[in-house]
Structure 1
């Protein structure tokens, strides 16, 4: 006997598949359990995450341009260049915020669908309910742990793994560094910018703007690396999980509706003419242990 999910040979001593954990004799997808398509949504989420990752970089690397504009302002004595630098940095951040909001919505919906699909996978052992696929991103403090646990469950049950793929850990570690570090760096930059002279009068005051941008660059470079690692690894995860789930859903065989204890049939029973033909709304009754009545 082979596992209907991954094709591995059955073990005579273990009722579950050693590779994917599916109980032998079970179909790849349980009939009657709702499932949801994830390939298209996963592609949209991956594109949005990739766009947010790329759009973060211009704002993060703006101190390179800001320092040059501050030097030019000092040489020309032009305060408007400093104001222009602040406005340019603000405008560069707007597309990133829009992409981030779009990515957040799509990722939450994709996570919920992917988690719901695992309820239909025999042998899946999720530790958190589907509701946490949404609440885990929104509840304070829980969002430091819960999303990683949900995605880890989805990855194991979708990619036929007994252990969590290492890519989940890479993604979550990079995301925590980025999300927490971005708040710390942004707060520090705001505090240092508020201490700058609003209308510089001399080289020392102009020079403080140059030093501000130079000091801001180091932390933002680290955040850029973390953002790239988190974005790329999550896109890979979404694509792999979506493809694996869609492939498994496509291999599901339609079964007659009935009691979960009834054996599933790969194909519908042939039609029988006459008054003894079975109804299309119910499967033929399973054979009992004692054989046909009257035999």
Structure 2
């Protein structure tokens, strides 16, 4: 006898598969429970997260450009050059903000979908699907809940007895980035407020050169943390998405009467498949009954 989830041989000495934890006789996907495709969404989320990390790193390295502009302003005693430096940094930061909003939206939707799929896998997570969304948005809770949701998704999707180390790496780096970026921004704001608003001599212009020189090193800490968090999260998203999609494909056979051989409602005039019955042209029973397609009416479940 083989496990319907991972295909490993099962032993009557245990009540569940020793590889994936599926109970004997339980289908890979429970009949009648909606499931959601995650591979394409996971790819889009990964690209958006990667782009966000790259753009943040570029904005963090802006002091290298700021020092040049500040020195040029000091040589020419031209305040307009300093104003140009401020505008240039704004132009560098805007793409990061847009990418971050897109990435955040895709990550929240992806988290909700992979968590909802656990219900169809017969898992027993402690975090509800609602927390897959609210956990990112509720203050204080967003420091704890998202990692708990993703940790459970990773364990049940990747057949791990413990939380994968990649989850710990991702969330640790994310906290360093999230907190560090706020601390650095607050420090820079205080230092910038102490600068002379309208510099007139070499000494006052030199303070702007010092400001950009001292800003670079603190910015590198959240920048490196951002790259580590993004890289580890992208790997997690790809592994979880691939594992869930493979499980969905393994569980649902291509019954005759489904349009294009895909799971969904039977084609008009075609008989609905009977759970446990053999499909025509096959020699054995189907491992699972057809799944009910996701309902229409929401952006996340669309």
State the TM-score, normalizing by the size of structure 1.
0.86
Task: Check the 8 A contact 1:170/1:230 in 2, yes or no.
Answer: yes
1:134 aligns with: 133
Q: How far apart are 1:268 and its partner, in Å?
A: 4.2
Structure 2 unaligned blocks of 5 or more: 256-273, 282-302
Structure 1 residues 26, 225: CA separation in 2 closer, same or farther (over 3 Å shift)? same
Task: Check the 8 A contact 1:31/1:254 in 2, yes or no.
Answer: no
Most deviating of 247-256 and 21-30: 247-256
1:27 aligns with: 27
Task: Check the 8 A contact 1:63/1:216 in 2, yes or no.
Answer: yes
Correspondence 1:58-207 to 2 at 5 A: 58-122=58-122, 124-207=123-206
Task: Check the 8 A contact 2:180/2:222 in 1, yes or no.
Answer: yes
Aligned mates of 1:264, 1:50 — CA distance in 2: 43
Correspondence 1:183-262 to 2 at 5 A: 183-253=182-252
Deviation string 1:52-78 (CA, Å, 9 cap, x unpaired) is 111111210000110111111111111
Aligned mates of 1:119, 1:191 — CA distance in 2: 49
Task: Check the 8 A contact 1:28/1:252 in 2, yes or no.
Answer: yes
Deviation string 1:142-166 (CA, Å, 9 cap, x unpaired) is 0001000000011111111111111
Aligned mates of 1:158, 1:45 — CA distance in 2: 18
Aligned mates of 1:131, 1:74 — CA distance in 2: 55
Aligned mates of 2:110, 2:144 — CA distance in 1: 18
1:265 aligns with: 276
Q: How far apart are 1:14 and its partner, in Å?
A: 1.5
Structure 1 unaligned blocks of 5 or more: 257-262, 271-295
Task: Check the 8 A contact 2:4/2:26 in 1, yes or no.
Answer: yes
Q: How far apart are 1:11 and its partner, in Å?
A: 2.7
Q: How far apart are 1:269 and its partner, in Å?
A: 8.0
Q: How far apart are 1:15 and its partner, in Å?
A: 0.3
Deviation string 1:186-217 (CA, Å, 9 cap, x unpaired) is 11111111110011112221111111111111
State the TM-score, normalizing by the size of structure 2.
0.84
Supply the RMSD in Å over aligned alpha carbons.
1.8
Task: Check the 8 A contact 1:152/1:164 in 2, yes or no.
Answer: yes
Q: How far apart are 1:131 and its partner, in Å?
A: 0.3
Aligned mates of 1:106, 1:14 — CA distance in 2: 40
Task: Check the 8 A contact 2:28/2:250 in 1, yes or no.
Answer: yes
Deviation string 1:24-59 (CA, Å, 9 cap, x unpaired) is 111111111100011111111111111111111121
Aligned length: 263
Q: How far apart are 1:7 and its partner, in Å?
A: 2.1
Between structure 1 and structure 2, the one with the greater Rg is 1
Structure 1 residues 86, 255: CA separation in 2 closer, same or farther (over 3 Å shift)? closer
Task: Check the 8 A contact 1:255/1:265 in 2, yes or no.
Answer: no
